[in-house]
Amino acid sequence: METDLTLPRRARDSHKGDYGRLLIVGGCVGYTGAPNLCASAAVRCGAGLVSLGVPEPIYSICAVKQDSAMPFPLPAEDGKLSALAIDPILERLENSDVCVLGPGLGRSDALTQLVQTVIRETPIPLVLDADALFAAAQAPEVLLEAGAPVILTPHEGEFARFRPERFSDRVEETAAFSLKYRCTVVRKGPETVCAFPDGSAARLRVGNPGMAKGGSGDVLAGMLGAFLCQKQIERPAETAVWVHGQAGDRCAQRLGEYAMTPSDLIDAIPEVTKQMTL
């Protein structure tokens, strides 16, 4: 199944507006790497414009790290986004095509409220990653109130927090959850499962243990957001997982599983996407 994934060639008369405006929201004091990895991966995967909203105390750090993405500060308290960030985030959503929420976000009562409000009110597809998944899992029924399609990107521990109905088969379990909550789930692991709101699911056997490092999931979230932005890509979730895993396999071959880093994954993305472009 995986080998038929392709990327379309870009029209010669296209411009950045044709490839989507991605909004990434995350980060907190002590967790500046996650949102930056996410944004850098999104740029590598072809999103037309990438904006990165972070708490004001870490804005200068993110601004120094980013050349192609566009960081901007949001209201903060105790180093994390505050409740006052909700309105500017909702305003930004109106001028974006896809949002990734969660990389390095941190946890607090205010952030749980923020995430659940964004889920209810978003007018655009929303990718929930990392601590945004924690916030959503506090009240999973909020997924049924979503204002637009929601895509979850949990690892096994994050998926378990949603207390899904247990199945002996991992694919069936993920598909049943997606059908129940009408969302897409990218359940990460040695064999990543992509499950969809209609109850269908696919298992992708790609990647290696060298990717089991903090930051690899942030890279995947940015890739997924970028591919969702580009309407020309027919299967964005599976494409993101496949490119992510293939990039990881190339890193493992060159650098070894111990030494490879999430930043290396981003650097390897062009090798994969170039081969997939028809």
Burial degree of 148 (CB within 10 A; 0-12, 13-18, 19+): middle
Neighbours of 64 (CB within 10 A): 11
Assign 166 to helix, strand or coil. coil
Residue 36 pLDDT: 98
Phi/psi-derived region of residue 54, left when phi > 0, alpha when psi is between -120 and 50, beta in every other case: beta
Structural domains of the chain ordered from first start: 18-151+211-276 (3.40.1190.20)
The C-alpha atoms of residue 52 and residue 159 are separated, in whole angstroms, by: 26
Residue 1 pLDDT: 41
Return per-residue pLDDT of the chain as tens, 278 residues: 446 899 999 999 999 999 999 999 999 999 999 999 999 999 999 999 999 999 999 999 999 999 999 999 999 999 999 999 999 999 999 999 999 999 999 999 999 999 999 999 999 999 999 999 999 999 999 999 999 999 999 999 999 999 888 888 999 999 999 999 999 999 999 899 999 999 999 999 999 999 999 999 999 999 999 999 999 999 999 999 999 999 999 999 999 999 999 999 999 999 999 999 98
* β-pairing verdict for 98-101 and 21-25: parallel
